[in-house]
């Protein structure tokens, strides 16, 4: 699915969500917190591509819902999660659009991780 949105500026904002058949993993401190072959890749104008993981392939017992939220005019309201590790909590390490806007409906309930807050987000064949 590809959605193009124009906010009235010189260039259209583009949001593209595609299935990723490669193995995607989130690894922090040697522990794998997410591992899937059914990630969705979200490509957005002006931002690096992001891998979204289905909840079934994320160790949800290692995530704790945060009070922090954020808003994207193209995707909607995001709920954030802390990552619970053996060495303590990584604040707001992941996020999810639980009620995304129509143009991002495919990522509903999926989770994404901030690359700067985990050691690795791997993508392999």
pLDDT greater than 80 at residue 1: no
Confidence category of residue 125, pLDDT binned at 50, 70, 90: confident
Dist CA 56 CA 45 (whole Å): 28
Q: What is the pLDDT of residues 19-67, one digit of tens each?
A: 999 999 999 999 999 999 999 999 999 999 999 999 999 999 999 999 9
User: What does the pLDDT average to over 2-6?
Assistant: 44
**What is the per-residue pLDDT for 11?**
67
| pLDDT given at position 12 | 86
Task: Please give the order of strands across the beta sheet that includes 13-20.
Answer: 2-5, 13-20, 39-44, 47-52
d(CA 50, CA 60): 19
Please check the confidence at residue 2 and state whether its pLDDT lies above 60: no
Q: Which residues contact 102 (CB under 8 A, 6 or more apart)?
A: none
Cα 118 from chain centre: 13
- Residue 14 CA to residue 6 CA, distance in Å, equals 8
Q: Which H or E run includes 114? A: none
Judge whether residue 5 has pLDDT over 80: no
| pLDDT, tens digit, 9 for 90 and up, residues 76-104 | 999 999 999 999 999 999 999 999 999 99
What is the rounded distance in angstroms from the CA atom of residue 80 to the CA atom of residue 65?
A: 6
Residue 99 vs residues 4, 31, 36, 48, 116: alpha-carbon distances, Å: 19, 29, 22, 22, 25
Please state the rounded mean pLDDT for residues 96-122.
97
Q: What is the CATH number of domain 2-124?
A: 2.170.150.40
């Amino acid at each position: 699915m590809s959605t193009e949105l124009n906010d009235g500026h010189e260039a259209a904002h583009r949001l593209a969500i595609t299935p990723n058949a490669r193995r995607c993993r989130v690894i922090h401190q040697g522990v794998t917190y997410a591992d899937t072959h059914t990630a969705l890749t979200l490509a957005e104008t002006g931002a690096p591509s992001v891998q979204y993981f289905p909840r079934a392939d994320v160790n949800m017992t290692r995530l704790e819902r945060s009070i922090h939220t954020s808003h994207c005019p193209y995707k909607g309201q995001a709920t954030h999660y802390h990552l619970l590790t053996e060495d303590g909590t990584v604040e707001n390490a992941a996020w999810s659009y639980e009620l995304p806007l129509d143009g991002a409906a495919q990522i509903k309930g999926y989770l994404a991780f901030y690359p700067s807050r985990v050691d690795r987000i791997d993508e392999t064949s």
